[in-house]
Amino acid sequence: MKKIRKQNIYILIISFFLIGLSVGYAYFSEEVGVGGTVTSKGTFDVGFSSSSCTKSHTGTCSTSISSDRDTVTVNVSGLESPGHYITVTVTVKNYGTVPAVLESYTFNSTNTNIEVVNSSVSSAQGVNLAVGSTRSMSFLVRWKSTSTSGVTGGATITATLNYAQNT
C-alpha cells in the first residue's frame, strides 16, 4: 500500500513537472509576424554605348548600335582568305540606377563561313556592372579557317548581350 502511494506521488510530481514545462514553453515562446509591402524603385537600363572595328588583315568593317542600344550590327566584307579576321570592340554602359550582371550573349551571322570568336565577352559573364560604369569587350569576326568556300558578299553579324539585375 505504501509502495502504491509512493508511486502515485512520483507520478503526480512528474505530471506537475511536465505541465510546468509545457506552460513555461508556451509562455516564453512567441510568434513574430512581419507584414508590409516591398517597393522597389530604380531603372534598369544597360546598353551599348560605342562600337568600332579594327582590321587585322584585308577587308572592311562598319558597326552600328540599335536605337534601343540592345544590339550591335557589324557589317564585314572583303576578307581574302580563311583565318583572316576583324576585331570588333564594344563598350557597354549601365545607364540605369541598379547594378547589372551579364547573364548571356548571342552572336548571329548571315554567312555560315564567318564565325565569331568571343575573346573577352565570355570573361565578362557574371561580372558586376555598377551604376554609371562601362565595360569594354572585344570579339573577332573571322572567316572560318576550315572553310573551303569563299566569302562572297561579306556578312552581317548581330551581337546581343543579355543583362539582369545584380542581386
pLDDT of 131: 93
**157: which 3 cell numbers?**
553579324
Mean pLDDT value of segment 17-45: 73
Q: Which residue has the higher pLDDT, 137 or 118?
A: 137
Relative to beta strand 134-143, strand 85-94 is antiparallel
pLDDT of 97: 92
Percentage of the chain modeled with pLDDT above 70: 86
Spatial distance between the Cα atoms of 8 and 4, rounded to a whole number of angstroms: 6
Distance from chain centroid for Cα 6: 73
Q: Which residue has the higher pLDDT, 26 or 165?
A: 165
- What is the DSSP code (8-state) at residue 127? -
Residues 14 and 53 sit within 8 Å (Cβ to Cβ) = no
Q: What is the pTM of this model?
A: 0.69
**104: which 3 cell numbers?**
548571356
Distance from chain centroid for Cα 158: 19
pLDDT per residue over 90-135, tens digit each? 999 999 999 998 888 888 988 888 888 877 777 777 888 899 999 9
pLDDT of 150: 63
